[in-house]
Amino acid sequence: MEHAVSTCELTRVFGSFTAIDKLSVNIRRGEIYGFLGPNGSGKTTTIRMLCGILQPTSGSGSVLGFDLLREPEKIKQIIGYMSQKFSLYDDLTVYENLDFYAGIYGIPYRERKKRISEMIEMALLTGREQDMAINLGGGLKQRLALGCAIISQPSILFLDEPTSGISPAGRRAFFKLIKKLSGEGTTVVVTTHFMDEAERCHKIAFLSEGRLIACDTPDNLKKSVVKGCMVELELPDVMDRVNDIEKLPYVKECSVHGLMLHVLLETAGHMEALNLHTKARAKIIRPSLEDVFITLARQEKRQVS
């Protein structure tokens, strides 16, 4: 079995609203696979279906060889899952939280101590074993939650926005752990709307309004999606100028990134005209994943309207 997860036209409808529309993906073993998309695009719905928690309306799929529609209970038992609103017990210590989850997963008593100390070491919580969960900072809490989710040593792990609300340093530390798990062979399916995190995934699936609009490695997406010459310029009054620049005939796209404007030109030959028009100096850049997403979102909009 090459794929840890495989779906075919997986769909979930709530009433008359289609939250996920015919999602077909293949996730390789040991891969870090990221679902990226704006709020409401269907990331949580997808993860919940793949975990066997939410029944698909139609379509099919399998996780580690188990059928999503017929064997959701089996799937629940073998995966690790950290939900978007993961629950730690605030009034239990770090050690007690891990012990509690070890109990839920039915880890035999004789193995628990060893497993818990491995998790404490993995989550860089050594010395904090007796601290109450409520007293941990955001990054530590998230790492403890990860420890709880993988105490049963699952070979596939689902993480729904595991790093929301923690500092950039905390997020980096968390992703290092994910990388390590993947290096050891664990398949990691993660949702995020942080581009820097998406950048660290082996493969990214972009969701927009319940539909998969692109799926590839970060590098391939940058090469294949953004067609033209991407340049960056610094303009003091960037917000006032963006509409005007967007209308230039050789400009395909325009987006604001802080003080910087990213402009997608038909070709590099249009740089001079842009410089003259803006009285700034454009510099060729490699498109970022954010640029990829902006391009994809605009393409979608054009197709719909």
- Residue ranges in contact with ligand ATP by CB under 6 A: 14, 17, 19, 37, 39-45, 84
- Give least dist CB 160 to Mg ion, A: 6
If the CB atoms of residues 84 and 299 are measured against Mg ion, the closer one turns out to be 84
| Beta carbons within 10 angstroms of residue 122's beta carbon | 16
If the CB atoms of residues 19 and 254 are measured against ligand ATP, the closer one turns out to be 19
Listing DSSP states for the chain in one string gives --EEEEEEEEEEEETTEEEEEEE--EEETT-EEEEE--TTSSHHHHHHHHTTSS--SEEEEEETTEETTT-HHHHHHH-EEE-TT----TTSBHHHHHHHHHHHTT--HHHHHHHHHHHHHHTT-TT-TTSBGGGS-HHHHHHHHHHHHTTT--SEEEEESTTTTS-HHHHHHHHHHHHHHHHTT-EEEEEE--HHHHHTSSEEEEEETTEEEEEE-HHHHHHHH--SEEEEEE-TTHHHHHHHHHTSTTEEEEEEETTEEEEEESSGGGHHHHHHHHTS--EE-PPPHHHHHHHHHHHHHHHH-
Q: State how far the Cα of 221 lies from the Cα of 293, in Å rounded to an integer.
A: 9
- Give least dist CB 46 to ligand ATP, A: 7
Size of the site for Mg ion (CB under 5 A): 3
If the CB atoms of residues 45 and 182 are measured against ligand ATP, the closer one turns out to be 45
List the single partner that 39 binds among ligand ATP, Mg ion, none, CB under 5 to 8 Å by kind: ligand ATP
- Binders of Mg ion among residues 203 to 262 (CB under 5 A) are none
Stretch that binds Mg ion, among 2-10, 40-48, 50-58, 94-102 (CB under 5 A): 40-48
List the single partner that 117 binds among ligand ATP, Mg ion, none, CB under 5 to 8 Å by kind: none
List the single partner that 41 binds among Mg ion, ligand ATP, none, CB under 5 to 8 Å by kind: ligand ATP
If the CB atoms of residues 43 and 262 are measured against ligand ATP, the closer one turns out to be 43
If the CB atoms of residues 44 and 186 are measured against ligand ATP, the closer one turns out to be 44
List the single partner that 16 binds among Mg ion, ligand ATP, none, CB under 5 to 8 Å by kind: none
- Give least dist CB 55 to ligand ATP, A: 11
Q: State how far the Cα of 238 lies from the Cα of 118, in Å rounded to an integer.
A: 51
For strands 80-82 and 156-160, give the pairing: parallel
- Give least dist CB 299 to ligand ATP, A: 19
163 binds Mg ion (CB under 5 A): no
If the CB atoms of residues 207 and 229 are measured against ligand ATP, the closer one turns out to be 207
| 279 backbone dihedrals φ, ψ, rounded to 5° | 55, 30
List the single partner that 109 binds among Mg ion, ligand ATP, none, CB under 5 to 8 Å by kind: none
List the single partner that 192 binds among Mg ion, ligand ATP, none, CB under 5 to 8 Å by kind: none
| Beta carbons within 10 angstroms of residue 125's beta carbon | 19
- Give least dist CB 212 to ligand ATP, A: 12
List the single partner that 14 binds among Mg ion, ligand ATP, none, CB under 5 to 8 Å by kind: ligand ATP
| Beta carbons within 10 angstroms of residue 47's beta carbon | 23
44 binds Mg ion (CB under 5 A): yes
- Binders of Mg ion among residues 64 to 123 (CB under 5 A) are 84
- Give least dist CB 162 to Mg ion, A: 11
Chain residues binding Mg ion by CB under 5 A are 43-44, 84
